[in-house]
């Protein structure tokens, strides 16, 4: 047994990664003793382009291209910040439709994360099953907005498409199907023996460390830290549609999966409540003027808190757009979790964080 | 034998050169049961040395361009490159941003362009099927024997090959 350490790189191009990120693991036999991460491969310069290239009314569609998975949260945060500066009030129906799409996006993003975690743990069949069922949600999104991934649904002053009766009926049908599937996943994730070997007790984060490393989103909620921006904001009526905080106490991969599954159930319930109690009214209010002043906006993306800072001086071009993304805030916690784990578990742990590097690098 | 199975099971190498994830998750969706790209024998590999189709998403960012070219050169011939998504084809919404190189065709030759933001799985499948045709053509072109020299010219009884070498891409007249 020598004390010599080996350096093993993971990425920037790797079969288990959707996006380029490079981790350099320092391994002692099989144990990881040091981690070095590099996340800047996909930096495109969107913040800079928002202040030089695009006018303020187009940026809502540009910032959606920061990330394909939480596109809706990005454009929503920006739009609400601008609406705050312009000083208009949007209709209640538009607010409800925004929440509907936000929650649909959360469902499909969590399902993708769960399936990807299973794939990286070597359970290909579960990956196929969840991906197949995820199409039910994608179908709804296509019906509602016209596109599967990049919706461009939210505009300054409301939303771009109305919900008709047939679409609402179809959505309720599909959501009921998804709900039954999610219960079967919960059964599988809690009782399957081979999944428990890969997930239970692996990649654990304690509550103190979650505080210390400033973890947010499902990563923090899996440690028992009840933080969720949906609980703290007022400009969208999350409490009216039945939001409930989901937490777990273990902090390992299994806990993160369970938090995600419970959040899917909660989101399904919220979507149903929205569709059954959708208020009447216009979907679009025209807002006039140019943004002047500063605004700060927070929203809960599928991965945690997303923050937008917008500053304008009364002209069509903004002075500053600052985006703080959830994965960026979680990187210290990621690096801490890898310490002392087996190298073979690294891809599964990485997938269970649900990292979004195109958000992080912008 | 290889020729037969290359067409039946092309392996895909996927590289994200700075895209927004939208197209990448559509690739996963295309491999999943509803669209089932795997029925064409397609499998997603991580190894450039075993791949036939290079699937690139995203406008090329400053830091990913070296890796893009490196992966392309590591793939064995014959190979086909698919540019997936609007921003991969032209730069799209990211065009003229300071860290973006406006599409992959500045760096590597592209065979199939698949537009859309994000490109839907149906379009992706069409693109892969098209790429299979191109792959077959390229395989035939590689295996076809070709001549290095034209008919030797003889002046004054001396055979001279100096002017009879074929240039790259030049057709032999007898073909």
- Band the pLDDT of B172: cuts 50, 70, 90: low
Check A53 against B29: CB less than 8 A apart: no
CA distance A281 to chain B (A): 31
Which residue ranges make up each domain of chain B? 2-143, 147-175
CA–CA min distance A22, chain B (Å)? 12
Q: Is B15 on the interface with A (CB under 8 A)?
A: yes
Cβ atoms A5, A26 nearer than 8 A? yes
**pLDDT category of residue B6 using cuts at 50, 70 and 90:** low
B116 at A interface, C-beta within 8 A? no
CA distances to A7, A15, A161, A344 from A26, in Å: 5, 20, 51, 13
Searching chain A, which residue's CA lies closest to the CA of residue B46? A15
User: What stretches of chain A show up as alpha helix (H) in DSSP?
Assistant: 46-52, 56-63, 71-86, 92-120, 124-145, 165-191, 193-199, 207-212, 218-221, 253-276, 326-338, 346-353, 357-361
Highest mean pLDDT pick, A165-174, B13-22, B97-106, B139-148? A165-174
Decide if pLDDT at A353 tops 70.
Answer: yes
Highest mean pLDDT among A105-109, B26-30, B146-150, B161-165: A105-109
Mean pLDDT lowest among A51-55, A95-99, A234-238: A234-238
Nearest to residue A11, comparing CAs of A43, A45, A39? A39
- How far is it between the farthest Cα atoms of chain B? 73
Picking from A14, A44, A69, the nearest residue to B100 by CB comes out as A44
- Looking at the complex, report in whole angstroms how far the Cα of residue A7 sits from the nearest Cα belonging to chain B: 20
CB-closest option in B26, B71, B94 to A44: B94
DSSP-based three-state secondary structure for A6: strand
| Residue from the list A65, A69, A358 with its beta carbon closest to the beta carbon of B93 | A65
- Judged against a pLDDT cut of 60, whether residue B174 lies above it is answered with no
Residues of chain A with pLDDT > 70: what percent? 98
CA B160, CA B152: separation in Å to the nearest integer? 6
In CATH, the architecture of B2-143 is 3-Layer(aba) Sandwich (3.40)
> In this structure, what token pair is assigned to residue B2?
């290889």
- Rounded mean pLDDT of B77-82? 85
| B134 — pLDDT class (breaks 50, 70, 90) | confident
Three-state DSSP class for A233? coil
* Burial class, B169, CB count within 10 angstroms (exposed 0-12 / middle 13-18 / buried 19+): exposed
Q: pLDDT of A246-259, one tens digit each?
A: 888 888 888 888 88
How near does any CA of chain B get to the CA of A105, in Å?
Answer: 12
Q: What is the pLDDT of residues A139-166, one digit of tens each?
A: 888 888 888 888 888 888 888 887 888 8
| Distance between first and last Cα of chain B | 27
Strand partners, A322: A309
Residue A305: HSE in the Cβ half-sphere, 13 Å Cα cutoff: 21
Comparing B112 with A36, the larger pLDDT belongs to: B112
- Torsion angle defined by CA atoms of residues A15, A18, A20 and A22, in that order, rounded to the nearest 10 degrees: -60
The percent of residues in chain A predicted with pLDDT above 90, rounded, is 0
* pLDDT score, position A16: 64
What is the band of B170 on the pLDDT scale with cuts at 50, 70, 90?
low
Mean pLDDT of B70-80: 85
First to last CA, chain A: 44
Residues 6+ apart with CB under 8 A from B140: none
Nearest CA in chain B to A360: B20
Sort out which chain B residues have CB atoms less than 8 A from A11's CB and list them. Answer: none
pLDDT band of residue B125 (cuts 50, 70, 90) is confident
Residues A181-224 pLDDT 10s: 888 888 888 888 887 877 787 877 888 888 888 888 888 888 88
Q: Is residue B143's pLDDT more than 70? A: yes
Closest C-alpha among B112, B109, B92 to residue B100: B92
Give per-residue pLDDT as tens, B42-63.
877 778 888 888 888 888 888 8
The SS3 of residue A28 is strand
Mean pLDDT (whole number) for B83-102: 82
Distance CA B27, CA A140 (A): 19
pLDDT(A6) > 80: no
Q: What's the gap in Å between the CA of B98 and the closest CA on chain A?
A: 6
CB atoms < 10 A from the CB of A240, how many?
A: 15
Mean pLDDT of the region B81-109: 83
Where does residue A135 fall: left (phi above 0), alpha (psi -120 to 50 degrees), or beta otherwise? alpha
CB A115 within 8 A of CB B33: no
Band of the pLDDT at A234, cuts 50, 70, 90? confident
As a whole number of angstroms, the distance between CA A80 and CA A296 comes to: 9
Average pLDDT, chain B: 79
Q: Do A53 and B63 touch (CB under 8 A)?
A: no
The values of phi and psi at residue A31, to 5°, are -80, 140
Q: Mean pLDDT throughout A271-283? A: 83
Could you say which DSSP state residue B61 is in?
B
Across the range A226-250, mean pLDDT stands at 80
Set of chain B residues whose Cβ sits within 8 Å of the Cβ of A131: 28-29, 31-33
Packing angle between helix B22-31 and helix A124-145, nearest 10 degrees?
A: 120
What's the whole-number mean pLDDT along residues A106-123? 85
| Confidence class for position A274, pLDDT limits 50, 70, 90 | confident
Percent of chain B exceeding pLDDT 70 equals 83
Q: Nearest Cβ partner of B64 from A20, A48, A61? A: A20
pLDDT digits 0-9 by tens, A68-109: 788 888 888 888 888 888 887 888 888 888 888 888 888 888
Question: Does the structure show a pLDDT above 70 at B2?
Answer: no
State which H helix or E strand residue B43 sits in.
strand B43-45
Q: Which domains does chain A have, with CATH numbers?
A: 43-343 (1.10.645.10)
Q: How far apart are CA A104 and CA A131, in angstroms?
A: 15
Name the residue facing B18 among A44, A69, A134 (closest C-beta). A44
d(CA B165, CA A72): 61
Q: Which residues of A touch B31 (CB under 8 A)?
A: 131
The residues pairing with A22 across neighbouring beta strands, listed in sequence order, are A38
Query: Is 80 exceeded by the pLDDT of residue A138?
Result: yes
Give the pLDDT confidence score for residue B12 in this predicted structure. Answer: 84
B93 touches chain A (CB under 8 A): yes
What pLDDT is stored for residue B106 in this prediction?
Answer: 82
């Amino acid at each position: 047994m020598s004390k010599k350490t080996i350096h093993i790189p993971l990425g920037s191009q790797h079969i288990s990664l959707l996006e380029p990120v490079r981790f350099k693991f320092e391994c002692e036999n099989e144990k990881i003793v040091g981690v070095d991460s590099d996340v800047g491969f996909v930096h495109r310069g969107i913040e800079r382009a928002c202040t030089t290239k695009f006018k303020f009314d187009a940026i809502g569609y540009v910032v959606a291209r920061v990330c394909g998975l939480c596109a809706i949260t990005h454009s929503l945060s920006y739009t609400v910040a601008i609406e705050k500066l312009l000083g208009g009030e949007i209709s209640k129906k538009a607010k409800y439709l925004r929440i509907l799409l936000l929650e649909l996006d959360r469902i499909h993003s969590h399902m993708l994360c769960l399936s990807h975690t299973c794939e990286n743990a070597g359970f290909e069949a579960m990956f196929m099953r969840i991906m197949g069922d995820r199409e039910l949600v994608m179908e709804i999104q296509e019906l509602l907005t016209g596109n599967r991934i990049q919706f461009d649904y939210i505009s300054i002053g409301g939303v771009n498409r109305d919900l008709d009766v047939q679409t609402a009926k179809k959505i309720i049908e599909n959501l009921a199907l998804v709900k039954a599937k999610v219960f079967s996943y919960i059964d599988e994730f809690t009782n399957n023996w081979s999944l428990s070997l890969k997930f239970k007790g692996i990649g654990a984060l304690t509550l103190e460390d979650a505080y210390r490393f400033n973890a947010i989103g499902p990563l923090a909620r899996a440690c028992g830290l009840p933080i969720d921006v949906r609980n703290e904001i007022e400009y969208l009526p999350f409490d009216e549609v039945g939001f409930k905080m989901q937490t777990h106490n273990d902090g390992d991969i299994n806990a993160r999966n369970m938090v995600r599954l419970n959040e899917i159930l909660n989101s399904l319930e919220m979507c149903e409540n929205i569709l059954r109690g959708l208020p009447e009214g216009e979907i679009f209010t025209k807002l006039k003027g140019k943004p002047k002043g500063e605004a700060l906006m927070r929203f809960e993306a599928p991965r945690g808190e997303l923050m937008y800072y917008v500053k304008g001086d009364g002209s069509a071009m903004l002075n500053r757009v600052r985006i703080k993304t959830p994965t960026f805030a979680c990187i210290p916690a990621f690096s801490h979790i890898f310490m002392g784990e087996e190298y073979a578990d690294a891809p599964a742990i990485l997938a269970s964080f649900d990292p979004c590097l195109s958000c992080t690098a912008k | 034998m290889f020729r037969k199975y290359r067409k039946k099971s092309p392996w895909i190498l996927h590289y994200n050169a700075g895209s927004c994830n939208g197209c990448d998750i559509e690739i996963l969706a295309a491999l999943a049961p509803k669209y089932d790209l795997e029925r064409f024998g397609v499998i997603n590999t991580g190894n450039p040395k075993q791949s036939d189709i290079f699937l690139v998403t995203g406008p090329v960012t400053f830091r990913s361009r070296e890796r893009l070219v490196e992966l392309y050169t590591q793939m064995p011939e014959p190979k086909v490159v698919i540019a997936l998504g609007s921003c991969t084809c032209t730069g799209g919404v990211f065009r003229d941003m300071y860290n973006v190189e406006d599409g992959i065709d500045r760096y590597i030759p592209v065979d199939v362009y698949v537009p859309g933001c994000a490109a839907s799985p149906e379009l992706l499948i069409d693109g892969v099927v098209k790429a299979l045709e191109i792959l077959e053509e390229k395989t035939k072109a590689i295996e076809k024997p070709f001549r290095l020299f034209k008919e030797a010219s003889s002046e004054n009884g001396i055979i001279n090959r100096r002017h009879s070498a074929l240039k790259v891409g030049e057709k032999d007249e007898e073909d």
